[in-house]
Copies of this chain bind each other. A is one copy, B any other.
């Protein structure tokens, strides 16, 4: 299900590894060791992750910790008066951890130290160089995030699919003048393939493929979570859906979009789609596109 040429050039691998080594040695270590000062690294990280409150369950998966280990660390922080633990109101198996005022102070201090470190580093550069660094760092982060996203087909009625579709419908409802109801979604039984994109175990995007005659497949409900926008994930999902369609024997993909969704139309045009006359009965559609699939 990878959308991508087979072999990775050695130069690219080398560049990434070289950077990785340099960065972890120079910055990673520095930052993480200094910011906690006399606090063990695990506790410092935990404090940060708790931030404005989180369940132990969440913390466990986010930090990848053993349940027992986490339990003890939280208790230690509680003992130092930095964290307060309460029972989840709806599910009393769960515990919620949140920072006390003292904990927030401590975290703020951590942040100040980390800021100071970053500032000290940037001080060695001219303003123009700082700008270039910020830019390069942003590009790197975006691409690494994109690279880490995996798209998998899931059942169209599975919890992840439902969650994505619900968020999709809610967003469209806010953006379409005429509104958008959950009942406007394609019913699960008409969906042939439902792709969900995951970033670190979280669903951050989706797209559905419906059969629409023997030759033609239709892409519906292509959506990217706001937190994952700007990565190029929409294009990637679209490409993967096209590959899937081709693999299922279709020769053409079509799709429609609302006039309010300018970015979507731009994505389709730059992905090789051309506008065609209206088809189907989607009451929200304002533009219709089609793309032939390579054999």
**Which of B18, B28, B127, B143 lies in contact with A28, CB distance below 8 A?**
B28
Cβ of A138: which chain B residues have Cβ within 8 Å of it? 15, 19
What are the interface flags for A1-27 relative to B under an 8 Å C-beta threshold, 1 for contact and 0 otherwise? 011110011011101111110111011
Given A17-B115, A23-B28, A24-B28: A144 in contact with B132 (beta carbons within 8 A): no
What are the interface flags for A126-139 relative to B under an 8 Å C-beta threshold, 1 for contact and 0 otherwise? 11011111101111
What are the interface flags for A143-163 relative to B under an 8 Å C-beta threshold, 1 for contact and 0 otherwise? 111111110000000000000
Look across to chain B and name the residue whose beta carbon is closest to the beta carbon of A19: B137
Cβ of A261: which chain B residues have Cβ within 8 Å of it? none
**Which of B5, B17, B122, B136 lies in contact with A8, CB distance below 8 A?**
B122
**A284 → B minimal CB distance (Å):** 31
Cβ of A118: which chain B residues have Cβ within 8 Å of it? 13, 16-17, 20
**A206 → B minimal CB distance (Å):** 17
A274 within 8 A of B: no
Q: Oligomeric state, in number of copies?
A: 2
A98 to B12, CA, bound (A): 29
| 17 A–B pairs (Cβ distance < 8 Å), ordered by A | A8-B119, A8-B122, A8-B130, A12-B131, A13-B118, A13-B122, A15-B134, A16-B118, A16-B137, A17-B115, A20-B28, A24-B31, A123-B147, A125-B143, A129-B143, A133-B143, A140-B140
Q: Are A146 and B134 in contact (CB under 8 A)?
A: no
